[in-house]
Amino acid sequence: MSEGDGQPGAMTRRRFLAGTAGLGIPAILSPSAWGGEDRAVFTFGLTPVFLDSDVQLLKSLKRYLQERMRRPVVLVKKRTYQEITSMLLSGQLDAAWICGYPFVRYRSRLSLVSLPVYNGKPLYQSYLIVNERHDARSVADLRGDIHAFSDPDSNSGFLVTRALLARMGERPETFFSRFFYTYGHRNVIRAVASGLARSGSVDGYVWDVMRDIDPALTARTRVIRKSRWYGFPPIACRRELSQASVIADLRAALFSMNEDPLGREILASLRLDGFAPGRTALFDGIARLVDTVRDQV
């Protein structure tokens, strides 16, 4: 889903209004809402790491960011991580909530804006799940399965399992009878629950949240392995924008989210505690996974 793919820096207020008028953007987006300043539109990218298909949540997030950053905000959502990462790197997005894997891969060009705090820590795990009928107890038992990955640029939905197999001297194409990408952690759970795939690699945070939201779905899956802790998918921006006021505004908005009723509502929906500054060192674990995979020739 995309609410606007234009160049954020070049987008004027008039262009924004013209571009969003047909989308039913509420009156709160009018310049008067943020003190009459004609401020540039802020474009924010979201990857499927985020709980997708929750339109209400997206509206709330957009509204919150607009109010706090006092500027128009466009939320850009794409099907794959690669698309969002490319847009971020090419300057089509001001910032994006991406996965740790592309963050590590493009660490030299990206800057960490904030890290979500989940269960008190800016960390999460990758889960290996199987269908309820699958009697697997370990990774070795998954040999010959049809396996569902989330995204080839996802840490928890691909890289962790890929590195695990690399350490076993295997590759997905040799270890599994077949594998496919669902481009969404929720889809991985659906694929495994339905039996389309016998096993899958999924974001532990998403699986936990889904267990609360849709227990019937997760009940048809079983976690057989939890990875070590990795840095939670970060909010990042291009390195050259890291000191820009718009990023400072974004950072402030995110840090103070649990101080605002709407922000708390958003955090509750996301099952997050809040957002923290974070450290890039938290992604060293992912970097090691990348190295492991790279070393397998």
Partner 1 sequence: MRSLWKSTPLRVKAPLIVAVLTVCVAVIISQVVMSRLTESQEKSLQRLTNAYLDGVATSVLPPVIRQDVWETFDALSRSRKLYQGLNVQDVIVSLADGGILAASDPISFPVAAPLPETVSARFANGRDLVIDDDRALAWVRRILVEGGEEIGSVYARLDLGPLMRERRQVLWALIGVNGLLTLIFAAIGYFSVHRLLRPVSTLHDHMERLKSGDPSRFTPADIASQDTEFASLFRQFNAAVDAIEEREVLAQRLADEEKLALLGKLASVMAHEVNNPLGGMMNALSTLRKHGGDAQVREQSIGLIERGLRGIRHVVRAALVSYRGVKGVHNDDVLTARDLDDLKFLIQHETLRRKLKLSWRNHIPETVAIDGSAVRQAVLNILLNACEASTIGGSIVFEAALRHDHLEIGISDSGPGLPAEIRRMYENAGQDNLQPVGSSGLGVWTAARLIGRLGGKFTIGERNGGGTRILLSVPLKEEKAYLHDVA
Q: Is 177 in the site for partner 1 (CB under 8 A)?
A: yes
Q: Is 182 in the site for partner 1 (CB under 8 A)?
A: yes
- State the Cα–Cα distance between residues 76 and 124, nearest whole angstrom: 24
- State the Cα–Cα distance between residues 83 and 120, nearest whole angstrom: 30
- Nearer of residues 106 and 180 to partner 1, judged by Cβ: 180
Kindly state the smallest distance separating residue 35's Cβ from partner 1, in Å: 44
Q: Pick the closest to residue 201 from 101, 121, 282 (CA basis).
A: 101
Q: Is 216 in the site for partner 1 (CB under 8 A)?
A: no
At 7 the three-state DSSP class reads coil
Exactly one of 33, 57, 196, 223 binds partner 1 (CB under 8 A); which one? Answer: 196
- Nearer of residues 44 and 158 to partner 1, judged by Cβ: 158
Kindly write out the interface string for residues 239-268 of this chain, putting x where it contacts partner 1 by CB under 8 A and - elsewhere.
Answer: ------------------------------
- Nearer of residues 180 and 229 to partner 1, judged by Cβ: 180
Kindly state the smallest distance separating residue 191's Cβ from partner 1, in Å: 6
Q: Is 197 in the site for partner 1 (CB under 8 A)?
A: yes
Q: Say if CB 140 and CB 109 are below 8 A apart.
A: no
Q: Is 173 in the site for partner 1 (CB under 8 A)?
A: no
Q: Pick the closest to residue 204 from 220, 183, 225, 235 (CA basis).
A: 225
Distance of CA 279 to the CA centre of its chain: 17
Exactly one of 187, 199, 218, 221 binds partner 1 (CB under 8 A); which one? Answer: 187
**What amino acid occupies position 58?**
L
Question: Which positions from 79 through 118 interact with partner 1, judged by CB under 8 A?
Answer: none
- State the Cα–Cα distance between residues 165 and 136, nearest whole angstrom: 16
- Nearer of residues 191 and 287 to partner 1, judged by Cβ: 191
- Which range in 26-34, 108-116, 157-165, 194-202 contacts partner 1 by CB under 8 A? 194-202
Q: Is 69 in the site for partner 1 (CB under 8 A)?
A: no
199: Cβ contacts below 8 Å, ≥ 6 apart: 128, 129, 130, 131, 134, 136, 142, 145, 146, 147, 148, 192, 224
Helices (H), the chain: 13-20, 55-69, 81-89, 100-105, 160-167, 172-175, 185-194, 204-213, 215-218, 245-255, 261-270, 284-295
- Which range in 35-43, 48-56, 179-187, 252-260 contacts partner 1 by CB under 8 A? 179-187
- Nearer of residues 62 and 198 to partner 1, judged by Cβ: 198
- Which range in 32-40, 50-58, 115-123, 192-200 contacts partner 1 by CB under 8 A? 192-200
CB count within 10 Å of CB 37 equals 11
Q: Is 47 in the site for partner 1 (CB under 8 A)?
A: no
At 224 the three-state DSSP class reads strand
Distance of CA 158 to the CA centre of its chain: 13
Question: Which positions from 111 through 170 interact with partner 1, judged by CB under 8 A?
Answer: 133, 146, 148
Kindly state the smallest distance separating residue 194's Cβ from partner 1, in Å: 6
Residues lying near partner 1 in the complex (CB under 8 A) are found at 133, 146, 148, 177-178, 180-183, 187, 191, 194-197
